[in-house]
Amino acid sequence: MPDQMQHITLASRPTGAPTPDNFKLETAPISDPGAGEVLIRVHYMSLDPYMRGRMDDAKSYAAPVPIGGTMEGGGVGEVLTSNADGFAPGDMVFGMFGWTTHAVADGKTLRKLDPNMGPVTAALGVLGMPGFTGWHGLMEYGRPKAGETLVVAAATGPVGSMVGQLAKSLGLRTVGITGGAAKCALATDTFGFDACIDHRAHSDARALRAALKEATPNGIDIYFENVGGKVLEAVMPLMNPHGRIPVCGMISWYNAGGLGAGADTPLSAPALWRPILVKFLSVNGFIISNHWDRYPTFLTEVGPKVMSGEIKVVEDIAEGLENAPAAFIGLLEGKNVGKQIVKLI
């Protein structure tokens, strides 16, 4: 067993979009697990947009990564040594290990993976936090009804693709928004969206709104918000009375710092708030970490759909811990196709 590990730390806080200089690949000794702890060799780690917020020293729902601290993130790996009841060498587990090849974790924070639930990478995407986010936001706050119209941006990502596929299975018209013709083809041909709009083909919110209006002739009943920016600006005038907007993210503003606080955007307060008032819209922000009590229900409902192939899965896997920063920067720029994962072994 090796006595050294590698991990990526936050070398400096970014100003705007992250750059490779904000990250540092370091080597450190592997710690021995204490009582109730487990030593894990990480096989795969997840890259997710929320990690950009952790890089800023700004007040939020979670503490920022300190300078010199290991970048945060979920991973799946193999138990090497266990001092925790219920875990044995060879078990595959999920935990918040960070950007690292090895980790020592409290057994109480780990979830043993069921080999019958498909490949272990599913725990990072379709059956992990992103898929759970899409399911919970749609079902709890979207309250979908057959015959309605749903719009979701980042439609080929792990959250958007889950939202679209579930809504389609419930009898809704589903319209995706994504970047590039290839991703739009993926949205319709693989994930089954009724229509998809390439936001890169439209220079501003007005042009995007015109294309969106054509794709949603009966208006929009549910807008699953994970992008913000010109997409939100395009959507708001098209919302139907009593529409619902679950809000789980706003990736287009993340690089402005502070999760978009003070971001320069033409979306004025009246343009946002007036439709909410006069159309009786329900807008619900949520952070999925507050809802893990519903995770078993999610697995029960969605797991069989994934195993049967009813829910399609696309993963974008980079190789090597050293390539995680570039993959993460690409994720924030929309370069990934599907759920972004890094393979470490």
CATH number for 266: 3.40.50.720
pLDDT given at position 255: 57
Q: Kindly state whether residue 303 falls inside one of the protein's structural domains.
A: no
Which backbone phi and psi does 47 adopt, to 5 degrees?
-115, 130
pLDDT given at position 261: 42
Q: Kindly state whether residue 233 falls inside one of the protein's structural domains.
A: yes
168 and 266 both lie in a single domain: yes
Residues whose CB falls within 8 Å of the CB of residue 280, separated by 6 or more in sequence, listed in order: 241, 242
CA distance linking residue 321 with residue 93, whole number of Å: 19
pLDDT given at position 77: 97
Closest among 339, 12, 309 to 165, alpha carbons compared? 309
CA distance linking residue 99 with residue 70, whole number of Å: 6
Tokens at residue 196, please? 């998809």
Q: Kindly state whether residue 295 falls inside one of the protein's structural domains.
A: no
CA distance linking residue 111 with residue 119, whole number of Å: 15
Q: Kindly state whether residue 294 falls inside one of the protein's structural domains.
A: no
pLDDT given at position 252: 58
CA distance linking residue 339 with residue 131, whole number of Å: 10
Q: Kindly state whether residue 305 falls inside one of the protein's structural domains.
A: no
Cβ atoms within 10 A of the Cβ of 115, count?
9
Indicate the DSSP class of residue 329: H
Q: How many Cα atoms sit within 13 Å of 228 on the Cβ side? A: 20
141 and 241 both lie in a single domain: yes
Q: Kindly state whether residue 154 falls inside one of the protein's structural domains.
A: yes
139 and 279 both lie in a single domain: yes
46 and 147 both lie in a single domain: no
CA distance linking residue 99 with residue 7, whole number of Å: 6
The beta strand positions in 154-271, using DSSP E, are 173-178, 195-198, 220-224, 239-247
73 and 111 both lie in a single domain: yes
- Element containing residue 81 per DSSP (H, E): strand 75-82
282-285 β-sheet, strand order: 195-198, 173-178, 149-153, 220-224, 239-247, 282-285
Closest among 323, 318, 309 to 343, alpha carbons compared? 318
141 and 275 both lie in a single domain: yes
Residue holding tokens 């936050």? 10
Distance between first and last Cα of the chain: 14
179 and 259 both lie in a single domain: yes
CA dihedral 36, 48, 344, 99 (to 10 degrees): -50
pLDDT given at position 88: 97
**What CATH number did the domain enclosing 90 receive?**
3.90.180.10
76 and 92 both lie in a single domain: yes
Residues pairing with 4 in the sheet: 29
SS3 184: helix
- Domains of the chain: total: 2
169 and 265 both lie in a single domain: yes
Q: Kindly state whether residue 333 falls inside one of the protein's structural domains.
A: yes
The distance of Cα 241 from the centroid of its chain, to the nearest Å, equals 28
Per-residue tens of pLDDT for the chain, all 345 residues: 678 999 999 999 999 899 999 999 999 999 999 999 999 999 999 999 889 989 998 777 778 999 999 999 999 999 999 999 999 999 999 999 999 999 999 999 999 998 888 899 999 999 999 999 999 999 999 999 999 999 999 999 999 999 999 999 999 999 999 999 999 999 999 999 999 999 999 988 899 999 999 999 999 999 999 988 889 999 999 999 999 999 998 765 555 544 344 444 456 777 788 899 999 999 999 999 999 999 999 999 999 999 999 999 999 999 999 999 999 999 998 899 999 999 998
8 and 78 both lie in a single domain: yes
Indicate the DSSP class of residue 70: B
94 and 31 both lie in a single domain: yes
Tokens at residue 6, please? 């590698």
Whole-prediction pTM value? 0.90
CA distance linking residue 324 with residue 96, whole number of Å: 16
Q: Kindly state whether residue 173 falls inside one of the protein's structural domains.
A: yes
111 and 152 both lie in a single domain: no
Which domain, by its residues, includes 83? 4-122+313-343
CA distance linking residue 96 with residue 93, whole number of Å: 10
